[in-house]
Amino acid sequence: MTVFPEERTVIVTGAVSERGIGRATADYLAERGWNIGVIDLDDAASKDLARELAEKYGVKAHGAGANIGDEASVRAAIDEIEAELPQLVALANVAGVSSPVPYLELDSAEWDRVVNINMNGVHYATRRAAESMARNRVGRIVNISSVSAQRGGGTFSKTPYSVAKAGVIGLTRATARELGEYDITVNAISPGPIDTDIMGGTLSEERKDELVKDLVVNRVGTTRDIAAAISFLIGEDAGYISGQTLNVDGGLYMH
C-alpha cells in the first residue's frame, strides 16, 4: 500500500466560483487537513481564496491564475504552487464550462472553446502534475466527467460538452493504465444533476422537482456530494481503485 507523506497538497482547478464544485471541494479537503493549491482564471481571486482557506482551516494554501485551456499557463501555475506548498499528492480537475448551444447552431469557435477547456485542460493539468507524482511515486488524480457523456446529453449543456466529457473518461482510463506503474491512480467522477451555475443558474424548486423524477433518490445533488466523492478517491485508502468512473448522480444512469 502506498503511504502518503505527512504533509500533502492537493491542487483543485476551477476552485474560485462560490457555488461551484471546485470551491466546495477546496473547502471540504482543507477541512480534512489537505494543503490546497488553487488554480482559476483570476490570479488575484485564486490567491484570495487560498488565504481564506489557510486562515479558516489552518492549512497551507497558495493560489495561481491560469487559463486551463493553455498548457504553458497551466504548467506555470503548477510550478508556482509546488514552489510554495508541501509535496503534491493529488489533483482534482474540476474546471469546466457549460455550453447550451443547439447542435445546428453550433460554430467551430464554440466547439473549440468547450473541448479545449473541458478536455484539453484536464490533460494539461494531469500531464504536469503526473511528472511530480511519478518522481515521488505517489499520486491521486480525479477528473470531472458528466452523466451527459454517458447519456449523450439530456442536460443543460449539449453536444461539445458531452463529447469533451466523454473524452475525459477515455483520458482517465488511458492515463490510469500508463501511470499505474508509478503508484498513481486516476479516476473520474460523473455527476448527475447538481445545483450549480453550470446547470444554467440556481435551480428553481420547480426545476429540481422535474429533475428528481428521473432519479432514484428524492433530491438533486449538491456540490458537497461531489466534494465527498473526490475526497474518497484521493484518499490514502483508495489506492486499489483506478481507471474507474464513479457516477454520483442519484441513480440517473445505471450501467
Give the catalytic positions in this structure.
Answer: 161
Helix (H, G, I), strand (E, B) or coil at 255: coil
d(Cα 25, Cα 81) in Å, to the nearest integer? 17
Name the residue with cell 501511470: 179
For residue 1, list its beta bridge partners.
Answer: none
Contact at 8 Å (CB) between 254 and 197?
A: no
Contact at 8 Å (CB) between 239 and 179?
A: no
Contact at 8 Å (CB) between 203 and 212?
A: no
Instruction: Say how many C-beta atoms besides its own lie within 10 A of residue 199's C-beta.
Output: 17
| Total length of the chain | 255
Q: Where are the beta strands (DSSP E) in 45-159?
A: 61-65, 88-93, 139-144
| The three cell numbers locating residue 78 | 503548477
Q: CA 226 → CA 29, 136, 181, 209, 212, distances in Å?
A: 12, 27, 27, 20, 17
